[in-house]
Amino acid sequence: MPLSFDIATVPFSRYGSFLTISYLKAAGSRPAGIYLRTVRGGDLTAGAAFRIELLEKQIPVAYQVQATPTHLRLESAGGSVDLCICNATTVRWKTDGVGLRLTLEGGDYDYAMQLADDRWEVNSFLNEVRFMAKCLQGALSVDAPWNRTRCTHVALQFEPDESGCAEFTIEEYRTVWQEFPLSTTFEQDVEQVAAEFQHWLAGTLQAGNCASSKGRELAAYITWSCIVPKGGYLTRPAMYMSKNWMTNIWSWDHCFNAMALIQSNPELAWDQFMIFFDRQDESGLLPDFMNDKYALWNCNKPPIHGWTLLWMMERSNWIGERQLLEVYEPLARWTRWWFNYRDDDRDGVPQYNHGNDSGWDNSTIFQERGAVESPDLCAYLVLQCEALMRIAERIGRPHDGTAWRNLGERTLALMLEHFWHNGEMRALRSGSHEPLGGDSLIVYLPIIVADRLPADVKEWLVTGLADSCKFLAPHGFATESLSSAAYEPDGYWRGPIWAPVMMLLVDGLVRAGERDLAQTAAERFCRMAEQSGMAENFNARTGEGLRDRAFTWTSSVYLMLVHEYVTSASSAS
């Protein structure tokens, strides 16, 4: 049985395309329904394009949606519409027994213009693109009332011919439309897209008998379909976090997607890893997020890039001297940025100015205003220094290597001196160094440098992670202690389980020699993701998927954990 999914939670799209079809809730004047969308412009601007309606005798009728990775069917009592996204910019449609209407409205200066008997151009200012509607079979009529400077709406209506069928394409473009005559049938296009997805699926990480699991196939589809092409602000093909509404890439999310690709698709993995360094500020800062239109610089994300690079180098010989020369200076500038620009009290311990800078936006360590010194940041920088030391040695810069080793050792010593007091780790207020409240999992992330820690520190970290009354929830690691007064089931970083944290902690536990605990946590997370979907985060107690349920970093982490730590016998198929 091919994978099927609900487009109310998982959009229908394909590799290399900004086009997607998904269900949108009612918002303002927009009615609820199934929409053909473009995700250009990021999550602040990308929105609905055409609302999709099936027609019987010119009247809209209810329909059901059947979605697979390569084919979408809309079916009513009187007929059906089949469609596929046959290339990066084109949706191909075929109706049987019903008509179809696509309605665009809401954008200033939108208009429609007939260019030929079978062809209309629709200019969507809101989405900053144009669409070409071309009728291949049946009839196309357009309702586009003009009001001063725009069409109040544009409704494209396709009706079947005497055989009961209609066929047409909708193409997205920015400037000039170029016609490419169709040389294939609809069915051949579906077969070609299916072959492309199967090729991706065959290269997706797998684990023994789990190779045919629905979880693996769903994760593969989400990662495949969320790739958008380079262009505009994007210097390389980019795996968006989702094609629901998180239609950007963030500067730590991209690391997990790169990790999941490094063994099967190393060039694309390297593109994911390097894309933020292509837009690096001269100070060394990386933007918080990017899309095809712009980047946001108001905050940033934690420096997990050294940890990521070391992880990938351990698993792939593809990363050679050319790649190391490419990344060395950008990674060095990113590392120095933290010491140069995020250490206001000049104590050698960098800080987070806002929760968003840590990736843990509203964690309880950020519940009061002010800069925070947190042990996880030091741990990341220790590994970043190690990565730079190894690279420097491989590219013939031994003096640089010594300097990075010394900085890493000094940062580790300061981390222990600074945060380890009275038998526990605590985050501190920068400047005053007063301990901060809450019982957040973030202070346990130094487990990623477990092989460098004193025995008592490592024991405290492992004991807390293993405690089912604190962090080891039924489905993985809760981000706020289950016994904390600040715990919230859907509190974002105050309780729910997050995939990136699972990956960091499982990897750290393995390095600490705690493979059984790492495997237990990994198995719990993977079973939950198989049952609840690849959500942005999860209720720690119930396993319910929260917020966006088609997230790529969750898919990537699921695939890595299943591949490395979950046995085929323990994973649900």
Q: Over the stretch 11-61, which tens digit does the pLDDT of each residue have?
A: 999 999 999 999 999 888 889 999 999 999 988 765 678 999 999 999 999
Q: pLDDT category, 571, cuts 50, 70, 90? A: very low
Same domain, 369 and 464: yes
Same domain, 510 and 560: yes
Give domain status of residue 546, yes or no: yes
pTM of the predicted structure, to 2 decimals: 0.96
Give domain status of residue 65, yes or no: yes
Q: Which pLDDT does position 106 carry in this prediction?
A: 74
CATH of the domain at 47: 2.70.98.10
Q: pLDDT category, 209, cuts 50, 70, 90? A: low
> Which of 243-247, 281-285, 331-335, 555-559 is predicted with the least confidence, judged by mean pLDDT?
243-247
Cα–Cα separations (whole angstroms), residue 301 to 285, 308, 328, 372, 533: 10, 14, 19, 14, 25
Question: What does residue 384 show for φ and ψ, rounded to 5 degrees?
Answer: -65, -40
- The answer to whether residue 208 scores a pLDDT higher than 80 is no
Give domain status of residue 241, yes or no: no
The model's pLDDT over 266-316, given as tens digits with 9 standing for 90+, comes to: 999 999 999 999 999 999 999 999 999 999 999 999 999 999 999 999 999
Averaged confidence pLDDT in the chain: 95
Give domain status of residue 298, yes or no: no
The domain in which residue 384 lies consists of: 207-228+254-264+304-565
Give domain status of residue 328, yes or no: yes
Q: Which pLDDT does position 538 carry in this prediction?
A: 98
Domain count, the chain: 2
Same domain, 161 and 221: no
Same domain, 460 and 352: yes
For residues 490-514, one letter each, b for 16 or more C-beta atoms within 10 angstroms of the residue's C-beta and e for the rest, the string is: ebbbbbbbbbbbbbbbbbbbbbbeb
Cα–Cα separations (whole angstroms), residue 240 to 13, 48, 224, 268, 503: 12, 18, 10, 13, 19
Same domain, 187 and 315: no
Give domain status of residue 434, yes or no: yes
Same domain, 388 and 418: yes
Select from 196, 192, 265, 258 the least CA-distant residue to 225: 196
Give domain status of residue 2, yes or no: no
**DSSP structure string for 500-536:** HHHHHHHHHHHHTT-HHHHHHHHHHHHHHHHHH-B-S
Q: Could you tell me if 157 and 142 are in contact, meaning their C-beta atoms sit under 8 angstroms apart? A: yes
CATH of the domain at 448: 1.50.10.10
Q: What is the mean pLDDT of residues 220-245?
A: 97
Q: Which pLDDT does position 567 carry in this prediction?
A: 67
Same domain, 502 and 367: yes
The model's pLDDT over 442-492, given as tens digits with 9 standing for 90+, comes to: 999 999 999 999 999 999 999 999 999 999 999 999 999 999 999 999 999
Q: pLDDT category, 211, cuts 50, 70, 90? A: very low
Q: Which pLDDT does position 572 carry in this prediction?
A: 38
Q: Where are the beta strands (DSSP E) in 408-482?
A: 420-421, 424-425, 428-429, 472-473, 476-477
State the Cα–Cα distance between residues 535 and 479, nearest whole angstrom. 15
Using a pLDDT cut of 90, give the percent of the chain over it: 91
Same domain, 179 and 224: no
Same domain, 78 and 119: yes
Q: What is the mean pLDDT of residues 356-385?
A: 97
Give domain status of residue 3, yes or no: no
Select from 39, 133, 138 the least CA-distant residue to 92: 133
Q: Which pLDDT does position 569 carry in this prediction?
A: 39
Same domain, 150 and 222: no
Same domain, 417 and 316: yes
DSSP type of residue 435 = B
- The answer to whether residue 367 scores a pLDDT higher than 60 is yes
The model's pLDDT over 511-536, given as tens digits with 9 standing for 90+, comes to: 999 999 999 999 999 999 999 999 99
Q: Which pLDDT does position 127 carry in this prediction?
A: 85
Same domain, 317 and 367: yes
